[in-house]
Chains A and B, each alone.
Chain A
Amino acid sequence: MNNSVYSVTKVKEHKFNWQFLFNELKPKGKWLTPFNIISIPIILLGLALIVYRFIFGIGSITNLTQEVPWGLWIGFDVVTGVAFAGGAYVVTFMVYILNMKNYHSIVRVTVLNGFLAYAFYTGALLLDLGRPWHVINPMIGNSFGTSSVLFLVAWHFVLYMLAELIEFSPAIAEWLGSRRAHKILSGMTIGAVIFGITLSTLHQSGLGALYLMAKDKIHPLWYSEFIPVMFLVSSIFAGLSMVIFEGSISRKVFFNRISEKNEKAQKGIVRGLSKICAVAMFAYLVLQFVVFIHGRNWGYLNSPMGYWFLVEMIGFVLLPMMLFFYSYRRGNILMIRIAAILTMVGVVLNRLNVTVIGFRWDLPVHYVPSWMEIVVTLAVIFTEIWIFRWVINRMPVLGDSPAWVSEEK
């Protein structure tokens, strides 16, 4: 079926064609899919709520208080979302730096996923800013708050999005059939990868470092001076679990876009990723254990928050870790997918425990997100999936590049 796409690109190789771009913008395929039926009303409702929020203030649709000024939009959309986008830096490290070429077929989709995640979570961040028209201030140099962790995170965010865009750009060039641009952009890949991995190391840990000053506000089981290291290590298996999960969805939904060769490679890739996840999770558990002992936290265990901590650590780190090990040895892909889902739940729990559930756990009235905050979050995620689907259906992401790319080499 890819032939039709190739013929289009062939035609417009000679001159840039606006008609082609216009045609590509139009939706393809059926309109009334179950996903569309669910997502369209939620996105529309989300948009309405966003308009309402900008007129009447953040408090009009959120349950945030003076004591808990960051809620679901930061704790889930930004902090958790960025952890899940960690797959991009891990996979590009494996493929471009360690030259593990057998993972090459998942690079583009992972980078695309990462880039869209960042673009949308930064977008979600704008909704949470009280004075978003000043968002450019830390960038333009009239007021550099260089002693701020958030300043570093902001800069690393922006630069990393640029790096990911460069990493993905050859796919855009192939879609547009622009050979010259493709050659230049491909040459920039390795630089962007090195730049991107460095930036990721720092902003993944930086998101944890944001909470270092909230020492008295976060439950001691989740607060330690090692939050940045924990966030970095857990972003490895968070990102890879997302890659496994997204892969299992994509091969069902976009089966017509996946080339035969990539489909075959899939099983070996999933097994390999499962091993990496297991090892990273083992390291993470050891780290958590050392911090737990070092912090003399035994006393907190026999309390509701202590049980909750054990649920997170045993049910959603230890258990999926063992599942990953076991199913890697057995080659059981279904079990690996289950382990990936458990791991993702665990990462959501961990990030929310630091940012929302364990934050001011001692208050008499706890922060619980309003239904409107949840709808806006869902709207952001659905819009991202729409864009993801649009790109997958047009650009060579899951499938092979057009023939002229290999001729070029």
Chain B
Amino acid sequence: MGLDRRVFFKLLGVTGLTLAIGKESVATPKGKDEVEFFGILYDSTRCVGCRTCEYECAAAHGLPEPSSEIEAVRKTDETCNTVVNTFQTEKGEVYVKRQCMHCNEPACDAACLTQAMHKNKTGPVTWDGDKCMGCRYCMISCPFDMPKFEFHSSNPKIQKCDMCFDRQKTGEMPVCVTNCPNEALFYGKRRDLIKEARRRIYEQPELYVDYIYGEHDAGGTGWLYLSPVPFEELGMNTTLQNSSYPALTKGFLYSVPSVDLLLPPLLLGIYAATKNKQPKEEENE
């Protein structure tokens, strides 16, 4: 036995120290330069339905100018990244701007097998045409049905709001925010937007319903909504789950390496066990 009492105490001391110090160093935050998600707060009580954002968005993204005729309820499509719809409610006309929600954990990003759909560190979910193979699995997965596909093109692209990612990189705000005449759109860090939304609801409880759409819906989204009427009256899906959509496939994805590693030895074992028992081919007919 090479372990006497002195060595034992020394080891004990070293172990204790390592546990104490080691634990402390693990517990420190990862570094202060971590980037926070940016997002946009949309306050439908301030929106006047002028559709300036639609025109500016189309111009900034090289898309055709929106038609001046307004149908009842429009959806975004491959030629327009955002629409403002009008709803008749007991509180009068309410306008709602719709576009990609830029989820915290986007289903489209998790679905994409080439990482063409990508959640950037600062928040915007963008599409990369050099990687995309046009499988449209992002469209199947998105709970908001936001990625749109150019079905009538031989070189089709996926179209959706990119939160003006290129402008954001140069420090500018998205075009819809800059051009909104009535400050219905408010750009900032997502954390600050939630604080601001809470403040507005708290200060004017008679004006707003007490709900921030996008705070938890689909696991949290980059766009946050305030409304004077319940959100289901504005055509928003309020039955979405509060956990993120990629979480739905986690169980399956985690099982893949285990099956890939465990099944072959099992099969090999069964093979070895049955190998020598060789009945004649004609016997069992």
Contact = CB atoms under 8 A, between A and B. Distances in A.
5 contacts: A66-B139, A137-B114, A148-B111, A216-B237, A265-B285
B28 to A, nearest CB: 28
Nearest to B108: A213
Interface of A: 54-60, 62, 64, 66-67, 69-70, 93, 96-99, 101-102, 104, 128-132, 134-135, 137-138, 142-145, 147-152, 154, 190, 193-195, 197-198, 201-202, 205-206, 209-217, 225, 228, 261, 264-265, 267-268
Interface size class of B (residues with CB under 8 A): 35 or more
B25 interface: no
B21 interface: no
B163 to A, nearest CB: 20
Contacts of B251: 225
A213 B248 contact: yes
Nearest to A125: B135
A55 B110 contact: no
B2 to A, nearest CB: 46
Contact of A198 (B75, B130, B260): B260
Interface of B: 75, 77-78, 107, 109-116, 129-137, 139-141, 143, 145, 148-156, 237, 239-241, 245-246, 248-249, 251-253, 256, 259-260, 263-264, 267-268, 270-271, 274-275, 277-285
Contacts of B129: 131
Given A98-B270, A228-B252, 16 more contacts: A57-B151, A57-B154, A66-B148, A70-B140, A97-B271, A99-B271, A128-B135, A132-B133, A134-B133, A149-B249, A150-B137, A151-B113, A202-B256, A205-B252, A213-B111, A215-B248
Given A130-B136, A216-B143, A143 B253 contact: no
A149 B255 CA distance: 12
Enumerate the 10 nearest inter-chain pairs by beta-carbon distance, A residue then B residue, closest first. A130-B134, A59-B151, A151-B113, A131-B134, A213-B141, A102-B284, A69-B136, A130-B156, A134-B133, A99-B274
B281 A147 contact: no
Contact of B252 (A56, A128, A209, A267): A209
Given A102-B284, A215-B248, A152 B253 contact: yes
B149 A130 contact: yes
Contacts of B135: 128-130, 150
A148 B133 CA distance: 14
Given A148-B112, A215-B245, A55 B154 contact: yes
Nearest to B75: A66
Contacts of A217: 140
A138 to B, nearest CB: 5
Most interface-central of A67, A102, A131, A228 (chain B CB within 10 A): A131
Contacts of A228: 252
Nearest to B136: A69
A197 B252 contact: no
A205 B251 CA distance: 12
B134 A134 contact: yes
